[in-house]
Structure 1
Amino acid sequence: MGAHITDSVLYRHLWGTDEVHALLDDEAKIQRWLDVLAALATAQAEVGLVPADAATAITEHADVGLLDLAEVAAETRACGHSTLGLIRCLRRVLPEHAREWVYYGATVQDLTDTWTSLVMRDVTDLVVTELARLESAAVALARRHRDTVMPGRTHGQPGLPITFGFKAAVWAAELRRHRSRLAEGRSRWEMVQLGGGLGTMEFWGERALPLLEAFARRLGLGVPDIPWITARDSVAEFAGVLALITATVGKIGQEIYQLQRPEIGEVSEPFTPGQVGSITMPHKRNPELSEHLVTLARLVRADAAVAVEGMVSEHERDGRAWKAEWAIVPEICLYTHAAVRLAVRLLEGLQVHADRMRANVDAASGYLQSERVMHALAAHVGKHAAHEAVYRAAMAGRERGIDLRTALLTDATDATVATYLSAEEIDRCLDPTAALGATGQLIDRVVGQ
């Protein structure tokens, strides 16, 4: 088992995905660092800072397979510097004429921050793909259950009738906004870092800005207006957007977690034969997917808070800020991609029990339609007086254990409603399908018709 749960042979499938692991493991990270160094050398050759043959040699030898990672680790521990061990080992495999030109004028943060930008770019691509699938799944549920009546709940209690399509359309609209946030934020967090010792690019003289442009172009990243060594807002924004996405996914998970409780029974997670809920209670079917979405979302929010803390840094370089990102950015990426992918599985396989939804509406004995009765009565006595009258009848009816219709028509509770509304009018008000307001039209605005 790995020391970190994301590396566990037993559990890593729940805490990350193979695609994100492929970006973050040691070999992948070092290879990407070497790619950055090769791009830097090539860009420096382009602007006349590095001999062309040296840049070619650096590019040809920028291969993690040529390095002994145990030796790189030993050199790193020996020198106490984050990347000097790697540079020493790389120089040993380079031809002599190229050795002095590798990492020419750059710093550890130029390398590692640029790597972070590349990871954020690639993970954004992965999340965008899964998020589109998740939105489509929510839209499909909204369209399929546009008219599937169920209790709407406020403060955990039944309120008014809605449809399950309405609930799913709210999810879809929220997910769509997150896709917009990702698209809008990319230009701010997909930027190279190249500043040298203090961010002034002094080492490269008058060729500094052309070098910056060439370096960014070769990596397919944007060019910042100014190096962002202590400006960690872009990383914090990336973390924050992923925290928002997973919070929505967690909300969906929490909702499904609650709705599949047997006493509610309105939905069920997809179930795989052989799946075991309890080693002691054989009957159990636990809400594994929805429950885990809440867990992953909590962890991403916690890590995102650390990213925001990193914005408070000192002077022109502060390792306390950006080195914390080495721990949290990989976690955020792993947890988010895992969460969105699990949520796709959850919504695409969700079982919706429409008959139970309607039964739960009917079990409320008409009380879910109290607002519609109040509205009809308001035309005669005013809204606030109508609320008081229906309230008195409803509270008395619930105390006596009778349905709302009986309570409204019984003089012993409150005669105001019966004075102004006939039994036929009350019956029309108590039809749950007539108490949906603009539900269908609102769903159509999200799903498109």
Structure 2
Amino acid sequence: MGTRLTDSRQYAHLWGTAELASLFEEPARLQAWLDVLAALASAQARLGMVPAGAAAEIATHARVDALDLDLVAEQTRLTSHSMLGLIRALQQVLPEAAREHVYAGATVQDVTDTWFALAMREVGALVWRDLRAIEESLLGLAVSHRDTVMAGRTHGQPGAPITFGFKAASWADEVRRHLDRLREGRPRWLVGQLGGAVGVLGFFEPQGLALRAQLCAELGLGDPGISWLSSRDRVAEFGGLLSMVCGTLARIGTEVFELQRPEIGELREPTTPEAVSSITMPHKRNPEGSEHLDTLARLVRANAAVLVEGMVAVHERDGRGWKAEWSAFPEVCLLTGVALEVGGRLVSGLEVDVEAMRVNVERHGDRIASERLLAGLAGKVGKHTAQQLMHEVLSPGTTEVAHVVDALVAAGAATEQDCRHWLAVPATGAAGAMVDTVVSRARAARAAEPDTWP
């Protein structure tokens, strides 16, 4: 395994999934580069730019398991060129007549940028699949707990009642927007690259545009219309979206992290009998997964920021930005894959303690209904006058008010009958209706879209 702790046998599962590792590990990456080279030769052969026999030989021999990878590494170091080691190793296994037709007129960036598009296609499909599964779990929670009343909290303090279904629907609606972004961004991101030295396809004249179209078609990618050697917004946008996906998952995880505290006890993440939270405090049940979602999101944001930095490129080629992408882009993808895996387990097995929610609401008495009382009083004396009256009754530094209604009546601001009338309005407002809207909208979208990334 690698020298980095995140690549170790002990911890690698926390920073990448086997599914995504199979895409970004060196043999897979080199094979993808070889596939691009083979597709280029095939496209050139169709246009009469290289012999058809040479293109066929390149396609046959462009297999990573046929190459001397030690030679690839040695020649890369020896030449200080990012692609020449791979080219020489491929030439070594080719018949002599085909060797001159490998990588004819292309550049490192043509190969690696096209690989980025191929990788985005694979990663995007996994993100689409996992987000839809997470959305389904969240919609189930929203429906099941549409009317489960709990304390809404602002600035970490109990505010006014909401329902847990409302909270879950908020999460689901955010996930749905990420799915919308994935669908809308696909045609922007999944385009090939063939620009040659400075992007104008000069080596391939007069067939440059036709060749690029053929190459992209061969790989199932879109034609960008213009070279994007120093235009890195596609990579930055994709990385930015993954950072937002991880931000959503971290928001969910943070809620569970906070609400699993024993003094609140309203949510608990799923666990297994084998899981050990603490070897010195055996009573603990730590929200390890919820916590890890925030860790992953921090790292994804940091690496996504590197991708955004790459947008500030100089002239027609600037290796500083796109070579930094070689490190940051796989990290963003691998970490997002873990976040989706952890987030999926969290929401599908989330334990909701309805009784704890009820007890916590009741513990605050009618203080948690202060918004409803304020609204009722405002109809009687005006909003700002009502706010000032209630501030005086409940202001910090005064004796803790156990019963707001009693305090309002004692202050002569309202009668008991007034207060009972105001509190007869549902405490959770339009929460249920908004849950219904989110669920209905999501169900319609899911019915109209494919299971696989469109």
Q: Which residue of 414, 420, 424 maps to 1:417?
A: 414
Counterparts of 2:200 and 2:435, CA distance in 1: 53
For structure 2, the residue ranges without an aligned partner over 5 or more in a row are: 444-454
Distance change (3 Å), C-alpha of 1:217 and 1:384: same
Counterparts of 1:294 and 1:400, CA distance in 2: 36
Residue 426 of structure 1 is matched in structure 2 by 419
Counterparts of 2:128 and 2:341, CA distance in 1: 11
Q: Match of 2:371, as an amino acid?
A: E
Q: Match of 2:420, as an amino acid?
A: D
1:20-419 alignment, distance < 5 Å: 20-395=20-395, 399-410=399-410, 414-418=411-415
Deviations 1:192-241 (A, max 9, x none): 11011111101111111111111000101111111100000110001111
Residue 442 of structure 1 is matched in structure 2 by 434
How far has the Cα of 1:138 moved from its partner? 1.0
Counterparts of 2:364 and 2:58, CA distance in 1: 74
Distance change (3 Å), C-alpha of 1:415 and 1:397: farther
Counterparts of 1:129 and 1:5, CA distance in 2: 29
Instruction: Tell me the SS of whatever aligns to 1:160.
Output: strand
Q: Match of 2:11, as an amino acid?
A: Y
Q: Match of 1:194, as an amino acid?
A: L
Residue 446 of structure 2 is matched in structure 1 by none
How far has the Cα of 1:401 moved from its partner? 4.5
How far has the Cα of 1:306 moved from its partner? 0.7
Contact residue 396 and residue 407 of structure 1 kept, 8 A: no
- Corresponding position: 1:8 with 2:1: no
How far has the Cα of 1:171 moved from its partner? 0.5
Counterparts of 2:288 and 2:230, CA distance in 1: 41
Residue 449 of structure 2 is matched in structure 1 by none
Contact residue 429 and residue 435 of structure 1 kept, 8 A: no
Counterparts of 2:211 and 2:362, CA distance in 1: 71
Counterparts of 1:225 and 1:327, CA distance in 2: 27
How many residue pairs match? The answer is 441
Contact residue 397 and residue 407 of structure 1 kept, 8 A: no
How far has the Cα of 1:430 moved from its partner? 4.1
Contact residue 401 and residue 407 of structure 2 kept, 8 A: no
Distance change (3 Å), C-alpha of 1:428 and 1:8: farther
Instruction: Tell me the SS of whatever aligns to 2:135.
Output: helix
How far has the Cα of 1:428 moved from its partner? 4.7
Question: Taking every aligned residue pair, what percent have the same amino acid on both sides?
Answer: 53
Deviations 1:347-387 (A, max 9, x none): 00000011111111111121111111121122221111122
Q: Match of 2:434, as an amino acid?
A: L
Counterparts of 1:400 and 1:346, CA distance in 2: 38
For structure 1, the residue ranges without an aligned partner over 5 or more in a row are: none
Residue 451 of structure 2 is matched in structure 1 by none
Instruction: Tell me the SS of whatever aligns to 1:152.
Output: strand
How far has the Cα of 1:282 moved from its partner? 1.2
Counterparts of 1:397 and 1:354, CA distance in 2: 33
Q: Match of 2:438, as an amino acid?
A: V
Counterparts of 1:132 and 1:398, CA distance in 2: 50
Give the TM-score normalised by the residue count of structure 2: 0.95
Instruction: Tell me the SS of whatever aligns to 1:325.
Output: helix
How far has the Cα of 1:405 moved from its partner? 2.7
How far has the Cα of 1:408 moved from its partner? 2.4
Q: Match of 2:84, as an amino acid?
A: L
Counterparts of 2:241 and 2:398, CA distance in 1: 45
Contact residue 367 and residue 402 of structure 2 kept, 8 A: no
Counterparts of 1:26 and 1:396, CA distance in 2: 62
Counterparts of 2:88 and 2:131, CA distance in 1: 42
How far has the Cα of 1:391 moved from its partner? 2.4
How far has the Cα of 1:176 moved from its partner? 0.3
Contact residue 5 and residue 15 of structure 1 kept, 8 A: no
Contact residue 242 and residue 336 of structure 1 kept, 8 A: yes
Counterparts of 2:214 and 2:301, CA distance in 1: 36
Counterparts of 1:204 and 1:210, CA distance in 2: 9
Q: Match of 1:116, as an amino acid?
A: F
Counterparts of 2:374 and 2:290, CA distance in 1: 37
Q: Match of 2:236, as an amino acid?
A: A
Counterparts of 1:7 and 1:191, CA distance in 2: 31
How far has the Cα of 1:403 moved from its partner? 2.1
How far has the Cα of 1:34 moved from its partner? 0.7
Deviations 1:64-115 (A, max 9, x none): 1111111211111111100101101110100011000010100111011111
Counterparts of 1:267 and 1:112, CA distance in 2: 45
Instruction: Tell me the SS of whatever aligns to 1:153.
Output: strand
Counterparts of 1:110 and 1:396, CA distance in 2: 65
Instruction: Tell me the SS of whatever aligns to 1:366.
Output: helix
How far has the Cα of 1:397 moved from its partner? 10
Give the TM-score normalised by the residue count of structure 1: 0.96
Counterparts of 1:6 and 1:143, CA distance in 2: 39
Contact residue 151 and residue 160 of structure 2 kept, 8 A: yes
Deviations 1:232-291 (A, max 9, x none): 011000111111111111111111110111111110010100210112111111110100
How far has the Cα of 1:407 moved from its partner? 2.0
Instruction: Tell me the SS of whatever aligns to 1:437.
Output: coil
Counterparts of 2:252 and 2:206, CA distance in 1: 54
Contact residue 113 and residue 192 of structure 2 kept, 8 A: yes
How far has the Cα of 1:396 moved from its partner? 8.1
